[in-house]
Chains A and B, each alone.
Chain A
């Protein structure tokens, strides 16, 4: 088990290193920070001075190691555009994005799983065919279009929900939450639905496929033979075995939800990491772009690590295999 843990950790570190190279390179290709900061009419002398201060005139390799050193010692630096420490910016923005992603995740499971079960249990019903077809639409409609349609309907026409922002938030020491106020919850509805819609379709299709497989197995037939009700068979016997892959996928999807909330955040002016990232891109705010990418990578890697470890606990075969490899090597 220990060897397995080490192995996974080494993988995680390797991934982070690769991302740090990518983050560094991307930061250097999107534009010239000096041109972005000083604008078009600064003097060449001022440009040169800023270039030196930002260490942009060092060789690329040297700059990468300086950057890596800063990362390892936790110095993320100041954002060029916001003129504030990046660590403050991230701390301010992460709660908004995480809450949005969690809400979307909950929605996708709560709606997607029952849909999938229902579809598997009654594959012949017309409503099921209709739902499955529309789930394809759910996956394929671009989020920004869906967002604009939602805003048009619920803010503009009906006037029920706010079209932008996060509403009032309650601030704790390191976290600000919109879950505790009425306006916060109202503001959350449309962005969460918008972000969740693709996930709902995904979870529903996954649940249906898994469920159909499970429903064909012997123990379900025996359960039916015992005269249990459809409901009891579907939800307490079959669903339990269906849930494991759904939980796994949902966990990994949480990473995607956080990282790909960018578009939804932009449409609803959600004050999360996505809006921050887009602003950083438009200002060639290199330290912030790199920091966002590293934070996203860290998030992904952590989730994957946890999922891997949970797998190992759930599935003894994984543990045994690494032990045998360890013994063999």
Chain B
């Protein structure tokens, strides 16, 4: 009986804790639940977007994806391989303790040890506390974009982590119990975590002691994951939620046309591209028109690559498949990336006759057959993009056989191979800087140097590699711009990939809500105003 009473008391408390629609409560929903509240143990972007409300990053990120002072008020190079960060004073954690330089150093070392962040922070050797408000970050080599990378470095209380036995990032796959940091948090962010009910609900409340400006008027916020898109839209339109992320493109017009609701969108930090095998002598899954396997790799011929680039009409894909919710991309960068060059961003013109001519010159007057590996999840409308690509390439005699794969299968094909000569994929710089696109997506694969880790089609160009090598060691902004431009130009001239578009992410909300849509998909609760 006592236990029963306890149960009733607890659920009473829960009922109070989750009472809907108090004053200025934002009820928002997205596709998937946050996997954890530990900012260092996942790189899932939905989780990161929610964790950002509770934890501040070392370097801040504006709603336009520019860097701004965060926990660090300033940063400057201090020697060849070192960046010196000045730590903001008077910042309080949610438990009332004061943030120190030790907390910053601890967080850098904790997050860098996570395998998920090796690509970003693996070059960091040490985070050294110089004095109460200064931390030096020492890398293995020069790292001009380290401050930009630090927008994803979340600062956690060292004492709290120690007290709760989560000094190290929880070990994945270990037998046993749940890590304390999975549903508890102690950050310095604008919102405080009230309750994390895994896979069901996450409740935040305003952090009254937040160090920075709190532009909106949200006191409380409840996040609910709803996987099924029609249900999510219905939950918004039936007033069970105030805002939803990931609106299906076909519902955009309907929501905009519903009284009291609107859609807002922002370009994602991602662009879609068709990658073509740049290394193998015999391409995988390619056949001549009689169905015999090709004994060559047509994609090693620049003329074939150019033919593909001129045959696939990215504008048409944006208009039809993406219903206008995307921008055509002409170089290996997109608006919002650090190092993006707007004037270079002009795509190859669509020209079927030229494409046919190039293909004939390359020795394929009748075209050939090729398998297009197509991921079915993760990106928007991929299946339709692949089908549109197939019909456009059919115009120049290339028969495309689409192989659709659920994401886990697609990822396995790439990671354990890569075993694909032609596929659709989204490319992005980890930190949102084009340098990351250069080093991981475009540079020649080289395990020892840690280059080309996500260069799945094995594109390789010596001149480009030289530009990349120079870029990663250059601090001078003017010189860097010059190198960005050279790299992007080589990528386009050599058709590193057939660039398609930068998708938009779309949110829908009641008209009484004002919130800036962000490229990283984070609903910044501090900037939400409820009328």
Please name all residues of chain A whose beta carbon is closer than 8 Å to the beta carbon of B234 when the two chains form the complex.
151-152, 155-156, 163
For the complex, is B408 an interface residue (Cβ under 8 Å from A)? yes
Q: A321 CB to closest chain B CB, in angstroms?
A: 47
Map CB proximity to B onto A163-188 as digits: 1 under 8 Å, 0 otherwise: 11100111111000000000000000
Q: A32-B408, A54-B173, A168-B15 are in contact. Are A42 and B115 (CB under 8 A)?
A: yes
Cβ B407 vs Cβ A53 within 8 A: no
Listed stretches B149-157, B223-231, B263-271; interface member? B223-231
Q: Is B111's CB within 8 Å of the partner chain A?
A: no
B377 at the binding interface (Cβ < 8 Å): yes
A162, B240: Cβ atoms under 8 Å?
yes
User: In the complex, which residues of chain B have a beta carbon less than 8 angstroms from the beta carbon of A284?
Assistant: 408
B408 touches A43 (CB 8 A): no
Q: In chain A, residues 66-115, which have Cβ atoms closer than 8 Å to a Cβ of chain B?
A: 75, 77-78, 80-85, 88
Query: B408, B414, B450: which has the most chain A beta carbons within 10 Å?
Result: B408
Answer yes or no: B3 CB below 8 A from chain A CBs.
Answer: yes
Contact A41 B115 (CB under 8 A): no
Distance from B238 Cβ to chain A, minimum over Cβ atoms (Å): 4
- Could you list some 28 contacts between A and B, CB below 8 A? A31-B409, A35-B411, A41-B453, A44-B447, A49-B115, A53-B172, A77-B173, A78-B173, A78-B174, A78-B175, A83-B41, A83-B172, A85-B178, A156-B238, A159-B238, A163-B235, A163-B238, A168-B14, A171-B7, A173-B7, A266-B228, A269-B224, A269-B227, A269-B228, A275-B199, A275-B227, A279-B227, A281-B408
What's the Cα separation between A36 and B199 when bound, in Å? 18
**Which residues of chain A have C-beta atoms less than 8 A from B238's C-beta?**
155-156, 159, 163
* Contact of A40 with B by CB under 8 A: yes
Q: Determine if A85 and B177 form an interchain contact, defined as CB atoms under 8 angstroms apart.
A: yes
Shortest A289–chain B CB gap in Å is 11
Interface-side segment among B48-56, B74-82, B116-124, B276-284: B116-124
When C-beta atoms are compared, the residue in chain B nearest to A159 turns out to be: B238
**Number of chain A interface residues as a range:** 35 or more
The answer to the question of B290 belonging to the interface, with a C-beta cut-off of 8 Å to chain A, is: no
Whether A172 touches B4, Cβ cut-off 8 Å, given contacts A41-B119, A83-B172, A269-B231, is yes
Residue B363, interface by CB 8 Å: no
Residue of B with least CB distance to A162: B240
* Chain A residues whose C-beta falls within 8 Å of the C-beta of B230 in the assembled complex: 148, 151, 267
| Interfacial chain A residues near B440, Cβ < 8 Å | 41
A35 close to B199 (CB less than 8 A):
no
Tell whether, in the assembled complex, residue A171 and residue B454 are in contact, meaning their CB atoms are under 8 Å apart: no
A230 close to B (CB within 8 Å): no
Min CB distance A83 to B, Å, is 6
Count A-B contacts at CB 8 Å: 168
Known A80-B172, A271-B199; contact A164-B415, beta-carbon cutoff 8 A: no
How far, in Å, is A276 (CB) from chain B's closest CB? 7
A34/B200 in contact, CB under 8 A: no
Interface centre among A49, A279, A281 (most CB of B within 10 A): A279
The CA of A279 and the CA of B450, in the complex, are separated in Å by: 32
- Once the chains bind, are B3 and A81 in contact (CB under 8 Å)? no
Known: A35-B415, A170-B7, A171-B14. A42 touches B116 (CB 8 A): yes
B237 within 8 A of A: yes
User: Does A303 reach chain B (CB closer than 8 Å)?
Assistant: no
A227 at the interface (CB under 8 A from B): no
Within the complex, which residue of A30, A152, A165, A171 is in contact with B224, where a contact is CB–CB below 8 Å? A165
The complex places the Cα of A83 from the Cα of B40 at a distance, in Å, of: 13
> Is B346 interfacial (CB-CB < 8 Å)?
no
B198:A37 contact, CB within 8 angstroms: no
From residue A72, how far is it (CB to closest CB) to chain B in Å? Answer: 15
> Chain B contacts of A37 at CB under 8 A?
172
Contacts A43-B453, A171-B7, A266-B228 known; A82 to B199 CB distance under 8 Å?
A: yes
A133 close to B (CB within 8 Å): no
Contacting A at CB under 8 A, from B25-53, are 32, 35-36, 41, 43
Residues of B within 8 A of A232 (CB): none
| A47 surroundings in chain B (CB, below 8 A) | 415
List B residues 218-263 near A (Cβ within 8 Å): 224-228, 230-232, 234-235, 237-240
* Known contacts A34-B415, A35-B408, A46-B118: A269-B170 contact under CB 8 Å: no
